[in-house]
Structure 1
Amino acid sequence: MNIVDEINSVIRKITTSGDSHRVVLERGFDTDAADLWDACTSSQRLSRWFEPVRGDLALGGRYSLTSSGTEGDILRCEPTRHLTITWEYQGNVSHVDVDLIPAGIERTVLRLTHHVPPGDHWETYGPAATGVGWEEALRTLSLHLAGDARGATEEMEEFAGTPEGQQLIRRVADAWGGADHEAGTPAGDAHARAARTAAFYLGRA
């Protein structure tokens, strides 16, 4: 896996509006919107690259991710275009928007916006805590769509423990630190928050 290509494949942005921070990721995929939508909403396909999911996967339904314990409600569902869900984990509630944007023949951009409430977790880890996790998911999705066996969740977990995987985590966290600084956080604070995130993902926190 080419680390530089992985870093450059994602556009990272942070904005603040009202009482929430918006962590935004964009990544392009070599497939059409219908296939990308199916990969993101089909329980069978989600279990292959993300997590096993249960529930009523339709507008107004409620889902649960069986591995992490995350659950939530499906607030908006516009097939092949837009999805909005609540993201409820250990008593914390946030929102996730997913937009699929056609970018030519057999090319679609996925924009994921995670609306994160302020609090101690944000002050400690900043946007990297959210961004690193979602980048791992989008990386696995890219492999799944390409039919690459490394897209299996077990394979990606093994990769994360390799020197290359650990370097990628550090580089991604650092990239989010840069985006954090561009959004207005002082450079020293942004770097420190990104470093704490990397340590957490590497099991050194």
Structure 2
Amino acid sequence: MQPARQAFTRESADARRADLIEATAACLAEHGLAGTNVRAICRKAGVSPGLLRHYFGGIDDLVAATYQATSDRMDAIFAGAVEDADHDPRARLTAYLTASFRPPVTDPDLLGAWTAFWALARSDARMADIHAESYAGYRARLTELLTACDAREPERLAIMLTAMVDGLWLELSLDAASFGAEAAVAMVERAVGALLP
């Protein structure tokens, strides 16, 4: 009986942490940094402020955990896009790059949370570390995909393509009608075609 109770307690604790992380991302998306506070997060998660402090120690820890969870979620989406692609190296590269122009990455709420994380990364060392690790991981995987396509200077191309994808994603997230997801995909495919042998 005791092991089952411990498993249930552990699952409950994980579920509560996940609920708090989800509520924090939602508050950041809806209210920005200025409107994201302990009271708003706890109201959205349906828990008491004491529970937030129990699991995270405070709002700074919770926001950092939310950034890490969001980064991990994006990594899984991009990895899944590559796994679902044809085994052709160029198809895998395109799938990785263009996953940014499809749901759930194009969810407008994600933009709100992401811009809050970027703002905090400029002034908070822990957030800056999460940002640096996330982008380094994205570029490293992109470099591997480019290398598989026999690209010259794959590290430099990874930086350039990451910037292009980020810029297109940002514009698409701000105004989906400006050029559309399929146009973004076409632009990236054209750039890849021009840059690779």
- Name the TM-score, length of structure 2 as normaliser: 0.28
Higher strand share: 1
Give the structure with higher Rg (CA). Answer: 2
Higher helix share: 2
